[in-house]
Structure 1
Amino acid sequence: MQTTTAKLYSLEYNNARTYGFSALFIAGNILLPQLCHTIHLGGPMLLPIYFFTLIGAYKYGWRVGLLTAVLSPFINSMLFGMPLPEVLPAILSKSILLAAAAGYAAYRFGKVSLLILTGVVLSYQVAGSLVEWAIAGNFFTAIQDFRIGIPGMLLQIFGGYIVLRLMTK
């Protein structure tokens, strides 16, 4: 399995680049879901709202990831009605967990690999499913990403790896 040493950052909230990069990743998290929602069950299957949160948090740190994780679902919900307000707490929980996991993994390992990204995606999905189960009170609903979202998780792992590799060049 190939590993790439990458220049990873941990931008602070007092740095204007934090907000610039966050705005770019938020825009990505708005456009990609719109594209995916043109396919039947494209949102639940491809999990597009998480993609740029993963990239932003991994490359630029948990602060960029957190801004992207919180603002993307709210903006999408306000502009397009998706995610639905009743599922917003679960999506926000998973987004925040993803930003934390990706930011920590990048800080801890300082490199990009498929194994690390797999760990990031599985960790936020497992923890997020437990949070969603507590919120929804329904285990079947909580494991939806594991029932139909496997393509989205694979997109995050392999697509994230490719994008992060391209960003290191």
Structure 2
Amino acid sequence: METSAKLYSLSFGNVKTYLFALLFVAGNIALPQLCHLVPMGGQTLLPIYFFTLIAAYKFGFRVGLLTALLSPVINHLLFGMPAAAALPVLLVKSGLLAGTAALAARYTQKVSLIALLGAILVYQVIGTAFEWAWCSNFFLAVQDFRIGVPGMLIQWFGGYVVLKAISKL
């Protein structure tokens, strides 16, 4: 399924880049707090990535990258989650998601379930390889594929619904 959409690639010189990034960072702060009310909610639902996907797909790599880098750091500083030891992996995965989502949007020029799935799978596979190299523990590295599938499905279908809803903005 595909929906035509207005997609942007905002520059770092555009004030809208920072305003949209702050909006999506706020979402990436609020959503994890809600998900952490559920046991294993963060690890299962992967909420820190949701608004990064939306930001990068709709507004381009720069908004996505700012959202990807600021969200985990601000969450850590405010709430201690994610743990400091997890930050490098989360930052890499978030950055990968920003890149793959922006690239998918640029390539397709529409909101597409296939493009979203591709972006999610690419960031997860490359991110898992990085995590395995980083921590030398394959079982830990594949955690998103072991218990985070519901979160990936939420990113995929929920991201599609949100992007479709804002497609004409």
TM-score range, shorter-chain basis? over 0.9
SS at match of 1:112: strand
State the identity as a percent.
61
Match of 1:113 in 2: 112
Mind listing any 5+ residue stretches in structure 1 that lack a counterpart? none
1:19 Cα deviation after fit:
0.3
Q: Structure 2 counterpart of 1:161, which letter?
A: Y
1:8-19 pair list within 5 angstroms? 8-19=7-18
Match of 1:163 in 2: 162
* 2:3–2:164 contact (8 Å) kept in structure 1: yes
1:76-115 pair list within 5 angstroms? 76-115=75-114
1:113 Cα deviation after fit:
1.2
SS at match of 1:4: strand
**2:106, 2:118 → 1: CA distance?**
14
- Give deviations 1:19-67, integer Å, cap 9, x for gaps: 0000000000000000000000000000000000000000000000000
1:155 Cα deviation after fit:
0.2
**1:100, 1:69 → 2: CA distance?**
10
Match of 2:54 in 1: 55
**1:168, 1:22 → 2: CA distance?**
17
- Structure-1-length-normalised TM-score: 0.98
Match of 1:122 in 2: 121
Match of 1:74 in 2: 73
SS at match of 2:6: coil
1:115 Cα deviation after fit:
1.0
Mind listing any 5+ residue stretches in structure 2 that lack a counterpart? none
- Give deviations 1:95-154, integer Å, cap 9, x for gaps: 000000001111111011111111110000000000001111101000000000000000
Report how many residues are paired.
168
**1:58, 1:128 → 2: CA distance?**
18
Match of 2:133 in 1: 134
Matched, 1:36 2:7: no
**2:44, 2:57 → 1: CA distance?**
23
RMSD: 0.5
Q: Structure 1 counterpart of 2:145, which letter?
A: F
Q: Structure 2 counterpart of 1:121, which letter?
A: I
- Structure-2-length-normalised TM-score: 0.98
**1:65, 1:122 → 2: CA distance?**
17
* 2:111–2:167 contact (8 Å) kept in structure 1: no
